[in-house]
Amino acid sequence: MDQFNINAGDQLRIGMLPNKTLNGFTVDVISEKGGPEEQQDKQYLNFKALGIIPFKKMAVNVVSPVSVIPGGQSIGILMHSKGVMVVGMSNINDERGNAVNPAEEAGVKVGDLILSVNGKKVTDEFQLKNEISVIGVKKEAELEIKRGSKAVKIKVKAIMCRETKRPRIGLFVRDSASGVGTLSFYDPATKIYGALGHIITDMDTAKGIDLSDGRIVEAHVRAIHRGKKGHPGEKLGMIVEDGSISGSIDKNTRYGIFGKIDALTDNPYFAKPVPVAMSYQIKKGPAEIYTVIEGNEITRCSVEIQDVFYPWNSRGKGMVIKVTDSELIAATGGIIQGMSGSPIVQDGKLVGVVTHVFINDPQRGYGVPAEWMLKEMGLLNDKSLQNAS
């Protein structure tokens, strides 16, 4: 069932509902008795076509208004996965010169996450290599693997590699990832931050990284590869591990990375927190994004919100934006890699963050509503519907 959040104190009006085809529909506010552990009844909007035909039922929550400080700072992202991820296969020449791949033959697949070998936890690729060497070619190695949401165990028998003279099972693996992105916002009360607006995936498998630990640090933009049709641009950044930004990465989710800030440089445009807009408050029209184009200086750039989607019509992409700032277009061509997470502000409210570029139109891209990120962070406190008309 769809859910619709409104800010506490807002009077619910038909014109603010997230539905563009209300003509011909009636909307009733209905209550249903809560369970024995629930203090308040549940509230719903009941949509009916022609006033009689049930069309949609939508839960309504009133949430306490939230204010955060927008980001815009470039950050270096350093992550380690749980276990090691299989990112490729490599045939091995055995002592007779035959090309074989023991892991693939045993059923190991690209994208698998190897958690342990014969019960011993694996934390990096060198440990996996050493465990296989210790087990040798006479005994089987039992790999504990996470494959999607399933756990499987696969037995593999290594062979002696003709070239390296050591036992191998034929895998390319990776245990870490790093890159440059943009801080989206942080809550000065809790020190919780959000960044990127999308999940971090492995570059070879395109699968989300199952986070073990990670941190964000300061990053400086050293050069720009301009985007053009068919070829996304990117920021070329330098990670400064002992710089003025530091924080943990505690979650890697479909709406970005989240953690706690230990140290952070100020955004000169926002000395105080600004309200976070709910999805229904976002409208088509002018807005601004905040991002770093050179060094570590945050720049304010004009954009236009061209379309707004609502949660039941989206898959992590809540709005379409177009860069209208001539200086940003001249410098970058539009939206480029490394700009993900740049906050979008409209009418003094944080409405969302930049996430993806249109490959064939670099001046346009997607944004994710800040409300969805707040849900992921647990910063929205739902209450029952207080006012309806």
Q: Write out the catalytic residue numbers.
A: 198, 325, 340
- Between CA 136 and CA 145, with CA 139 as vertex, the angle to 5 degrees is 90
Q: Which of 257, 213, 220, 212 is nearest to 236 (CA)?
A: 220
Other beta carbons less than 10 A from residue 1's beta carbon = 8
Q: Which of 346, 173, 176, 370 is nearest to 258 (CA)?
A: 370
C-alpha span between 197 and 220 (Å, rounded): 20
Contact 337, 325 (CB under 8 A): no
